[in-house]
Amino acid sequence: MHTGNEPVKSALAERLNRPLAIRSRPVANRLWLAPMAGLGHVAFREVLGHYGGCGLAFTEMCSARAVPTENRRVSAVFRWRDPELDRLVCQIAGADPAELAVAARRVEDEGFFGVDINMGCSVSGIVKKGAGAALLRDHDAALAALDAVRSAVAIPVFVKFRTGWSADIAPAISLARRLESAGADCLVFHPRVAPDKRTRPPMRDHIRVLAEAVSIPVFGNGDVVTPEDCLDMLQGTGCAGVSVGRMAIARPWIFAEWTGGDLPAEVLEGDGFKDYALRLADALDRHFDPIRALKRFKLFTIYFAANFTYGHSLQSPFLAAKTMDDVREAARRLLVPELRLTRRPNMNMYNI
């Protein structure tokens, strides 16, 4: 489970554990869980908590229109465990400043660490409503959204966004400076154009240019898979920290590993993947109905199976499961220590 490159791991842990505060609120470290639709739900975050090491976690994208009246016991996305609130940021998406403000107040009232405005999602249903990456086309609308949220709450306000709708970094720099002036406390930046479905490498140098343009923390995001990738992003771009997405789903213990924390015995002894799959199955059963639990486990298998040399064939039995008990049976039968691991997950599976 370890890279064996002790100098890299030592240098990385030192960088990630440097003190940091967002709006005067300290965070545990500079390695965060990115918001991910269908993946970063309460069940996964519960399992992530078992492994430790995550500085801040972000919820799935929540509709600003829905949040004010959502029932956390019923909602598929606006759901959390009380013990995680002091290190959890709720991501909201919307285009109407008034709706965003009301949603942000609900987020603050519930006790979240902060609120994150989504300005990066390029899914057509979100963009057609003027939300997500659509705000990158209309900077005045983006600023109106931030102004409304900043005026509504005292908790930290984050903005997750992309380079824009073209590879020109200049508009993103202009937007970042305006967001800082309007009161954003931290920017999480994914250096790809909005329609890019991760089929091309991120433009990592854009992180450096953006981080140099503002004085608030900028967290980099995109294709951070190994400790070397993470250290390279920190050293090469000057970003304040790193936000990890799909790799967190593939191997949730990387937060503890990369920050120099203690890993659970099952990971050290080579049984981590089976234990992880079983823990996630149990957590999904606790938090969701059987149909939704099974569906979400199957979404997870794409990233999980990418860890293995023969990942496609390993994924098939899980996708064929009809119940969560079928999932558990497959995990116990197939996830043995002898499975051949890849150091870097199979990107042909991993890039969706």
pLDDT higher than 90, residue 210: yes
Q: What is the pLDDT of residue 37?
A: 92
Q: Are residues 94 and 111 in the same domain?
A: yes
pLDDT higher than 50, residue 1: no
Q: Are residues 90 and 182 in the same domain?
A: yes
CB within 8 A of 43, min separation 6: which ones? 280, 283, 284, 286, 287, 288, 293, 296
In a domain, 83, yes or no: yes
Question: What are the respective helix, strand and coil percentages of the chain, to the nearest 5?
Answer: 50, 15, 35
Final residue in a domain of this structure, among 229, 258, 287: 258
pLDDT higher than 50, residue 2: no
In a domain, 188, yes or no: yes
Radius of gyration of the chain (CA): 19
Distance of CA 182 to the CA centre of its chain: 24
Task: List, for residues 148-203, the tens digit of each pLDDT value.
Answer: 999 999 999 999 999 999 999 999 999 999 999 999 999 999 999 987 666 677 89
What's the pLDDT band for 4 if we cut at 50, 70, 90? low
Q: Supply the residues annotated as catalytic.
A: 121
Per the CB < 8 A criterion, the answer to whether 47 and 279 are in contact is yes
Distance CA 173, CA 179 (A): 10
Q: Are residues 297 and 246 in the same domain?
A: no
Q: Are residues 224 and 150 in the same domain?
A: yes
In a domain, 253, yes or no: yes
Q: Are residues 128 and 276 in the same domain?
A: no
Q: Are residues 283 and 325 in the same domain?
A: yes
Q: What is the pLDDT of residue 119?
A: 97
Task: List the structure tokens of 218.
Answer: 């900028």
In a domain, 210, yes or no: yes
Per the CB < 8 A criterion, the answer to whether 103 and 128 are in contact is no
Quote the number of domains for the chain: 2
Task: List, for residues 55-67, the tens digit of each pLDDT value.
Answer: 999 999 999 999 9
Q: Are residues 78 and 161 in the same domain?
A: yes
Q: Which residues pair with 221 in a beta bridge?
A: 243
Q: Give the pLDDT mean for 225-249.
A: 96
Q: Are residues 273 and 199 in the same domain?
A: no
Q: What is the pLDDT of residue 309?
A: 87
In a domain, 1, yes or no: no
Q: Are residues 148 and 295 in the same domain?
A: no
Q: What is the pLDDT of residue 291?
A: 96
Task: List, for residues 129-141, the tens digit of each pLDDT value.
Answer: 999 999 999 999 9
pLDDT higher than 60, residue 284: yes
Q: Give the pLDDT mean for 292-319.
A: 92
More confident residue, 312 or 160: 160
Distance CA 244, CA 236 (A): 17
Q: What is the pLDDT of residue 192?
A: 93
In a domain, 308, yes or no: yes
Q: Are residues 247 and 278 in the same domain?
A: no
Q: Are residues 279 and 247 in the same domain?
A: no
Task: List, for residues 60-109, the tens digit of each pLDDT value.
Answer: 999 999 999 999 999 999 999 999 999 999 999 999 999 999 999 999 99
- Which CATH number characterizes residue 45's domain? 3.20.20.70
Q: Are residues 22 and 131 in the same domain?
A: yes
pLDDT higher than 80, residue 352: no
3 state DSSP class of 100: helix
Final residue in a domain of this structure, among 258, 287, 306: 258
Q: Could you please report the per-residue DSSP string of 137-161? A: T-HHHHHHHHHHHHHH-SS-EEEEE
Q: Which domain holds residue 176?
A: 6-258
Distance CA 306, CA 159 (A): 30
Final residue in a domain of this structure, among 234, 258, 282: 258
In a domain, 249, yes or no: yes
Q: What is the pLDDT of residue 248?
A: 96
